[in-house]
Structure 1
Amino acid sequence: MISYLKELISKKLSRKRARRYTQEYGHTIDTFQLEKEGEIQFANWQNPLIRPKAITQQEVNFFKKFIPEGSLCIDIGTNIGDTTVPMALAAGKKGTTLGFDPNPLVYKILEANVKLNPEKTNIIPYPFAITKEAGEFSYASSEASFGNGGISNEVVSNQGSFQLPQKVQGIVLEDFLLREYAELLPRLSFIKVDVEGADREVIESVGGLLKKYKPVLVAECFKRSTPAERAELYETVAGLGYSLYYFADFDEQAETTPIKSAKDMNRWKTFNFYAIFETA
């Protein structure tokens, strides 16, 4: 009992320090046995504010519904790679998974995950934010460990009181892909966006890609978004010809609900949705 209380107090103090003081945290390598993919390794960040990630067959199967093996998929806002790795397992070694995150603290863990499972995945990481115009941006977080955060832009002007000392680089994704991956673009099947409330701005910035290649889109409706901002997000995605669907979790058996109007975006506080291009 005494050892349990000591451990509990230690964890509380660690979380308190992580919220107030910036420091780098290492990672552990965890191993998971999947029914189809076999043994999968994942680098979990030792940041006390972040719950360890488990790789499951159910999550991989969720992405397999949308990502054909051998295709190109893109993860915008990878964090440590908690969705990037399952996406890459769906795309397979012959596919290509591009991951973008400008946060240098999580990017180090992402790089560790890129090196794991090399015979089953092909992940290429980039330390960039996706923006409407290329440039340098301030990056901030509500807590000092920078487990989450984002750049200041026209959508979200205040990401928190803790700011990185260095600027992060923003790129125009369509220009970057046409320059570096033009030959792969016809195989673009999937784009995931999770950028702490700036999802609409990012989706607008990749609107040309969405119109031309019609990949499945996954994005987040941020908890602090106002009803007006939620309506704008809906209209942006629906205006590109997509139908939106709420889903409860990254799980092949997760509950899904059609989002039929902008008003439906207020049914849940924070949620992810997937969007599929509807042909006439």
Structure 2
Amino acid sequence: MFKYLKESFARKKARRVTAKYPYEVNSFQLAKEGTVEFANWKNPLIPPKTITQAEINFFRRFATPGSFSIDVGANIGDTTVPMAIAVGKEGLTLGFEPNPMTYEILEANAGLNKGTAHIVPLRYAITEEEGEFFYSSSEASFGNGGVSASASEADTHGKFKLPEKVKGINLSKYLHENYKDYLPKLSLIKVDVEGHDKDVLRSISALIDQYKPTIIAECFSEATLDERFELYQIVADHDYTLYYFGDFDENTEIIQLSPHDMNRWKNFNFYAIPNTKK
């Protein structure tokens, strides 16, 4: 009972009081990769991450060894790390995360597993127009959140705001300026940005058309019916087929999506494959 009360108090405090939390490096023994390390954030609101072979195998369906993958909205690296291991040390994975609280843990994770992964952490939000943006969260410890162009719009992500703005960049422009040689190897783009997935995908439309990467994105719980249909159409218009999946696991349930399925679940992830690769 005492342990439960202590943990409950810690969670309530994390929701109301801004504080920095350390991380702890945990090791996982996998059948194929051997030892994999992950820096788990000690924020009481964030359950510890376990790296599994089944998750890495899931990403290997799309992110082939030696290829280029991108995680937009990387948070602490909970999907960035298995994506990067799937790509391997000969490939490259970029993790974009504007939130300084979670970026610090992402950066720690990028420094691990040097023999099996190559991660470059980047403290930017991905936006259609470059500039500086408000970052807000429903939690004082900033375990999640989103960017907004105005202070009033920022309230939609929660009442807690970072004291300093975060930088937003256009992904296509940034990649052509800094990673042009890697673009022909682009295999996977994962997007999870608190309801702005369609905006990010729209901003990289030319990139999708040219390189045809697999896309993984989230349909946000607060998205309206029109926004859900729009998200579907933005991806499908590139001649892609969309699939619901239950979890990042090689044995997960997979369902091919139609536009009307976008309101079937409140919050869910999907992946999309170009029809030329089916």
How much does 1:279 deviate? 2.5
- What is the match of residue 91 of structure 1? 87
Q: How far does residue 226 in structure 1 lie from its aligned partner after superposition?
A: 1.1
The letter for the 2-side match of 1:270 is N
Report if aligned partners of 2:136, 2:159 keep a CA contact under 8 Å in 1: yes
Whole-Å separation in 2 of the counterparts to 1:239 and 1:133? 22
Q: 2:136·2:154 contact (CA, 8 Å) conserved in 1?
A: no
Match of 2:174 among 173, 176, 186: 176
CA shift for structure 1 position 162: 0.5
Counterpart among 68, 75, 87 of residue 71 in structure 2: 75
The residue identity in structure 2 corresponding to 1:266 is N
Quick one: which of 188, 206, 217 aligns to 1:219?
217
- The equivalent of 2:126 in structure 1 is 130
Q: Which residue of 2 aligns with 1:43?
A: 39
**Structure 2: which amino acid aligns with 1:269?**
K
Identity %: 55
Task: Determine which of 262, 265, 278 is the counterpart of 2:262.
Answer: 265
Q: Distance in 2 between matches of 1:259 and 1:44?
A: 34
* Cα shift readout 1:125-162 (whole Å, capped 9, x = no counterpart): 10000000110000000111110001015998721110
Q: Distance in 1 between matches of 2:260 and 2:160?
A: 34
Report what 1:202 is aligned to. 200
**Residue 19 in 1 paired to residue 15 in 2?**
yes
Provide the residue aligned with 2:96 in structure 1. 100
CA distance in 1 between counterparts of 2:145 and 2:155 reads 12
Cα contact 2:75–2:97 (8 A) shared by 1: yes
Whole-angstrom distance in 2 between the partners of 1:162 and 1:29: 28
Residue 151 (structure 1) aligned with residue 147 (structure 2): yes
Residue identity opposite 1:272 in structure 2: N
Letter in 1 for 2:96: F
Which shows bigger deviation, 147-156 or 113-122? 147-156
Corresponding residue for 1:52?
48
In 1, Cα distance between equivalents of 2:12 and 2:71:
30
Contact 2:54 2:251 in 1 (8 A): yes
Residues 1:157 and 1:23: Cα distance change in structure 2 (over 3 Å): closer
1:279 pairs with 2:272: no
1:111 — aligned with what? Answer: 107
List runs of 5+ in structure 2 lacking aligned partners.
none
* C-alpha deviation, 1:7, in angstroms: 1.0
Residue 195 of structure 1 aligns to which amino acid in structure 2?
Answer: V
* Residues 264/270 of structure 1: CA separation in 2 closer, same or farther (3 Å cut): same
Contact 1:67-1:87 within 8 A present in 2 as well: yes
- Partners of 1:157 and 1:27 lie apart in 2 by 29
Q: What is the root-mean-square deviation of aligned Cα atoms in Å?
A: 1.3
Instruction: Please give the alpha-carbon distance, in whole angstroms, between the structure 2 residues aligned to 1:63 and 1:153.
Output: 33
What is the aligned partner in structure 2 of residue 253 from structure 1?
251
User: For the Cα contact (< 8 Å) 2:134–2:154, is it kept in 1?
Assistant: no
Question: Aligned partners of 2:88 and 2:251: how far apart in 1?
Answer: 22
**How many residues align structurally?**
275
Alpha-carbon separation, structure 2, partners of 1:157 and 1:97:
32
5+ residue gaps, structure 1, are none
User: Contact 2:134–2:149 (CA<8 Å) still a contact in 1?
Assistant: no
2: CA distance, partners of 1:77 / 1:192: 8
- The structural deviation recorded for 1:239 is 1.1
Question: Secondary structure at the residue paired with 1:279?
Answer: helix
